[in-house]
């Protein structure tokens, strides 16, 4: 039994998905030229598709699961189920207008023409806001629409905002935030569900380790409780008696964002021989 996974065939989401699969121990060959690739050491095969085809492929059972941007999943509105939010390829879907226009609130969009590749999401938002506007659906280069007179505003993906700036546009309303999703067919067989559970277990182990560091240090017993209070770890730090009388080795996990704050406090408490190691996987 093999679990088929649909993956975007190119772009940033493709790159980040391939890196995630690699970190979970799934090795693929010839991904550049082959539509369907079988993993060497895990019961999955990867089907490479356009991002906007993945929700339908999963919903109809052409593929069992898929990794797709939340924006495409919501836009296509297919009958599939979110198995896990993956937390990468983050972006937002926003309304933007020419930078020189004075904007006060969403009512500005009444009776305006808006260009977008996401008409379903946009129409739902406008309806919720009681806004009546003309939606002009196009694919690609949405950001040039106002400058060529095709629309008065756009609704599109925004990451850094640099594309908007280069086209003399400004973001005025964030409609939704998006990230990569692992979606699944609602009628997945029991054996395939078991494989999916194993895959999610591996993904959890990889993602739990993100932005965390393993720390080892030596400390005198007189300072041990203060250091334990500073290093709670996942449950509690590991403490081992050293050969030197009155000294212990302490091991724990810290968040990378607090790294320098914690190191400074540890040194103030007399910690010595501080060693910081990257974490590849973490099983809770």
- Could you tell me if 112 and 173 are in contact, meaning their C-beta atoms sit under 8 angstroms apart? no
93, two tokens:
């879907």
194 and 234 share a domain?
Answer: no
Closest by CA to 186, choosing from 178, 196, 199, is: 196
pLDDT, residue 244, reads 83
- 16-47 pLDDT per residue, tens: 999 999 999 998 876 566 789 999 889 999 99
Q: What are 41-64's pLDDT values in tens digits? A: 899 999 999 999 999 999 999 999
pLDDT at 40 (0 to 100): 86
The pLDDT value recorded for residue 230 is 87
Phi, psi for residue 191 in degrees, rounded to 5: -65, -40
* Residue 283 domain-assigned (yes or no): no
Strand partners, 200: none
**Same domain, yes or no: 61 and 136:** no
Q: Which residue has the tokens 């937390």?
A: 87
pLDDT of residue 34: 77
Give a yes or no: residue 112 inside a domain.
yes
CA 269, chain centre distance (Å): 38
- What pLDDT score does 117 carry? 96
Closest CA to 273 of 231, 211, 215: 215
Residue 239 shares a structural domain with residue 138 = no
Q: How far apart are CA 156 and CA 143, in angstroms?
A: 8
Per-residue pLDDT, 175: 97
pLDDT of residue 161: 87
pLDDT at 116: 97
Same domain? 123 vs 162: yes
* The pLDDT value given to residue 211: 79
Instruction: Judge if 95 and 171 occupy the same domain.
Output: yes
Q: What is the pLDDT of residue 29?
A: 76
The tokens for 260 are 């320098």
What is the reported pTM?
A: 0.84
Q: Residue 165 belongs to a domain with what CATH number?
A: 3.40.190.10
Return the closest-CA partner of residue 254 out of 278, 270, 223, 271: 278
Domain extent for 169: 91-178
| Tokens 């950001």, located at residue | 143
| Mean per-residue pLDDT over the chain, rounded | 92
**Domain end among 128, 156, 178:** 178
- Which stretches in the chain have pLDDT values below 70? 30-33, 232-235
| Residue that is written with structure tokens 């756009």 in the block | 154
Q: Is 62 a member of any domain?
A: yes
């Amino acid at each position: 039994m093999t679990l088929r996974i649909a993956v975007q065939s190119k772009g940033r989401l493709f790159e980040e998905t391939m890196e995630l699969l690699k970190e979970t121990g799934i090795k693929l060959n010839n991904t550049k030229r082959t539509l369907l690739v079988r993993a060497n050491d895990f019961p999955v095969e990867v089907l490479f598709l356009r991002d906007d085809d993945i929700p339908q492929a999963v919903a109809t059972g052409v593929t069992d699961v898929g990794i797709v941007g939340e924006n495409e999943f919501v836009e296509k509105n297919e009958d599939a189920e979110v198995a896990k939010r993956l937390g990468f390829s983050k972006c937002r879907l926003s309304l933007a207008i020419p930078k020189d226009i004075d904007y006060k609130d969403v009512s500005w969009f009444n009776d305006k023409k808006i260009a977008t590749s996401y008409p379903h999401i946009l129409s739902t938002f406008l309806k919720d806001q009681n806004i009546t506007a003309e939606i002009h659906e196009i694919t690609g280069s949405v950001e040039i629409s106002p400058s060529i007179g095709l629309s008065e505003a756009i609704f599109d993906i925004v990451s850094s905002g640099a594309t908007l700036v280069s086209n003399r546009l400004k973001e005025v309303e964030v409609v939704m935030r998006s990230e990569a999703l692992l979606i699944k067919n609602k009628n997945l067989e029991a054996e395939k569900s078991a494989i999916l559970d194993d895959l999610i277990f591996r993904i959890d182990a990889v993602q739990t380790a993100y932005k965390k560091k393993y720390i080892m240090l030596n400390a005198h017993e007189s300072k041990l409780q203060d250091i334990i209070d500073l290093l709670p770890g996942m449950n509690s730090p590991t403490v081992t008696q050293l050969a030197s009388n009155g000294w212990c080795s302490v091991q724990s996990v810290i968040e990378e964002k607090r790294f320098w704050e914690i190191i400074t406090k540890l040194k103030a408490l007399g910690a010595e021989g501080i060693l910081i190691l990257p974490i590849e996987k973490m099983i809770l």
